[in-house]
Chain A
Amino acid sequence: MFTSRTTGLMLVLPAVVFIAVGFLAPVLILLAQSLRLEDGWGIGNYLAFMNDGLGREVFWRTIKLAALVTLAAAVIGYVAAWAIVETRPERRGVLVGMVILPLMISPVARTYAWLVILGRTGFLNVLITNLGLSEEPLRLLFTETAVFIGLLQLFLPLMIISLVSALENLPRDVVPAAQTLGAGWIATFFKVILPLTREGLVIGGTLVFTGSVTAYITPAVLGGSKVLMLETLLYQRVSVANDFASASVIAAILMVTTLAANRLLRRLATPRRR
């Protein structure tokens, strides 16, 4: 008979070997390649990327859009989650199901829908011109706005779900109590609700932020070559320029960005000890 430690090891071993060999090893080699120069090793590729105006711009655009999407998702998410939690429990299940539903649908289909909606002859522009809000249809496709809208729709459900579970755990009487004590809605939110649901917000925020940073389809279809983000730039560097040096740098930057976001937000989630 094996010891329990050996049994445990044998149970996890196949998965560990599979992931280490088939997944982690190639990824680590790729990341290591970013330090490979024509003559030896160093951070030359990173310097080249950051000195290239295009690389810098794409990096900051990616961070900016991901942050804006996260912020918008948080604001909308609180309102939606609060409204869901306020409903009767038997309806709550249906509503949560409706939030999850879009997550299960192919992102290609979800993005294509926005192509149909935001186009110059699309649904939104037909609406805008018919309502007389603008004489000419607006240019919406291939702009940062289009990418922002697409990403928000893609990842908002993750934020709502996280906040629903956080709000469900909120003691039922804290909000009435705060208001009895004379706090307005804004004060109640920042002094009571936010601190008590911080963990849910951070989990949702991490999912939305890293999701936005690493999204490919949305910037590719709704942004195109004028609104490059890190993933689309990576694709372009590999498939158009066959430039693996800068592709591996972008890969490393993507990796570090998602890890850093995870770390930073997790730190924010743990309440400070006094």
Chain B
Amino acid sequence: MRRAALTSVLALAFGAAAPAAAEPTLVLSAYGISQDAFKKILYEPFEETCGCELVVEIGNSAERLAKLEARKDNPNVDVVVFADFNALEAARKDLIQPLDPLKLSNLDKLYDVARDPIGDNMAVGYTLYSTSIVYRTDKITDMSSWKDLWRPELKDRVAFPNITTTQGPLALYMAEQAWTEGQPSPGLETAIGKVAEIKDDVVTFYERSSQIVQLFQQEEIWAAPMGRFAWGNIMKLQMPLGWLLPAEGQTGGLNVASIVKGTEQADLAHQLIDMWLSTEVQTALAEALVDSPVNREVELSEPVAQLMTFGPEQVESLRLVPPEQLLENREAWLETWNAKVAQ
């Protein structure tokens, strides 16, 4: 009798410590921005259908890639989402495994660029966004070019993405286009040199896109290069902020989802990714101004369509940097950056 009581107490104590034992756990590694919206639109509905617990780890892409690498032999993440060039690097380092296209019912609905962006089915795109400059329309007028970030009025009022972020290389790529009059060098020396010239006037080199919103809100900055996915949060500030359509064009990025090599939850991982790509979730994420869709079946209300990177023409017009090219040159950019800007 007493032993039975003791056993049940122990069971209670340890059971309470590990309630997840009965339910499988799926771990997703994601960007930190807009987590509230993701929770409502994707995570909670997914948990209802999968009979599992979804744990989300957040951080910027470089941080999360470094964690995957450090834990290569002992992964604690199942699904990872980051930029296409991060996925390519992860694939080359043998950190992710191929997706099974047969388990992704929504794959056929995607734009071609998103379907198999880095080859071998190692990743699938879930959002395509443009990158440009956001600025205070009440403080500066006639912005028209990437070069305008260097205008004297923006001294002490401009932020730039750090080179280690996803946005950093993209912004430098466009700056190189602008400052070399369309004769860019693969080393981006001109752009990095230009950033170095104003490094003391740059408020900060931001590490995560979420910081940008705060910097605008506290009026630390009046302009910064930024990805479209942060635009929804920027609009919530209700400040006079505009999205520049620069003469040199906009660049952009493709964010992709991949499955971590050695996961024990491959089926659940596919389920989560497939749900992410579904017309329903893609539409809801776009309507919440979180992520622009890659699913062709998505239809958006007119005002939202204006705010997102949306429709085949827009998708076509982005000057995307091929992930191979980015990966190939990044070491050199980092070196130039560390020598000229970081110190």
Contact = CB atoms under 8 A, between A and B. Distances in A.
A225 B205 contact: yes
A119 B202 CA distance: 15
A121 interface: yes
A53 B219 contact: no
Given A53-B339, A53-B343, A54-B343, A226 B204 contact: yes
A267 to B, nearest CB: 33
Interface stretch (A79-87, A101-109, A237-245, A258-266): A237-245
Interface string A104-144: 00000000000000011110000000000000010101100
B202 A137 contact: no
Contacts of B62: 239-241
A119 B203 CA distance: 12
Nearest to B67: A239
A199 B67 CA distance: 45
A57 B218 CA distance: 29
B69 to A, nearest CB: 5
Contact of B342 (A54, A120, A141): A54
A210 B79 CA distance: 41
Contacts of A120: 218-220
B331 to A, nearest CB: 11
A54 B218 contact: no
Contacts of A39: none
A90 interface: no
Contacts of A173: none
A226 B220 contact: no
Q: How large is the interface on B (under 10, 10 to 19, 20 to 34, 35 or more residues)?
A: 20 to 34
Interface in A44-80: 52-54, 57
Given A139-B203, A142-B203, A121 B218 contact: yes
Interface string B196-222: 000100111111000000000011100
Interface string B156-185: 100000101000000000000000000000
Contact of B156 (A53, A139, A236): A139
Contact of A240 (B66, B199, B203, B339): B66
B21 interface: no
B112 interface: no
Interface string A131-168: 00000010101100000000000000000000000000
Nearest to A241: B66
A61 B291 CA distance: 40
A224 interface: yes
Residue with the highest number of chain B CB atoms closer than 10 Å, among A122, A139, A238: A139
Nearest to A235: B63
Given A119-B220, A120-B218, A242 B66 contact: yes
Contact of B202 (A52, A122, A226, A242): A226
Contacts of B219: 119-121, 137
B8 interface: no
A240 B204 contact: no
Residue with the highest number of chain B CB atoms closer than 10 Å, among A122, A224, A238: A224
Given A52-B338, A141-B220, A240-B62, A57 B205 contact: no
B89 to A, nearest CB: 11
A137 B219 CA distance: 10
Nearest to B334: A241
Interface in B49-68: 59-60, 62-63, 65-67
Contacts of A242: 65-66, 69-70
A137 B220 CA distance: 9
Contact of A225 (B63, B207, B220): B207
Interface in B220-236: 220
Nearest to A226: B204
A225 B162 contact: yes
A228 to B, nearest CB: 8
Contact of B343 (A57, A142, A239, A241): A57
B76 to A, nearest CB: 15
A141 B215 CA distance: 10
Interface of B: 59-60, 62-63, 65-67, 69-70, 156, 162, 164, 199, 202-207, 218-220, 338-339, 342-343
Given A228-B342, A238-B66, A240-B60, 5 more contacts: A120-B219, A121-B218, A239-B66, A241-B164, A242-B70
13 contacts: A53-B338, A119-B218, A121-B219, A139-B220, A141-B220, A142-B220, A236-B164, A238-B66, A239-B59, A240-B62, A240-B66, A242-B65, A242-B69
Listed from nearest, the 6 A-B pairs whose CB atoms lie closest are A242-B66, A142-B204, A240-B62, A225-B205, A119-B218, A120-B219
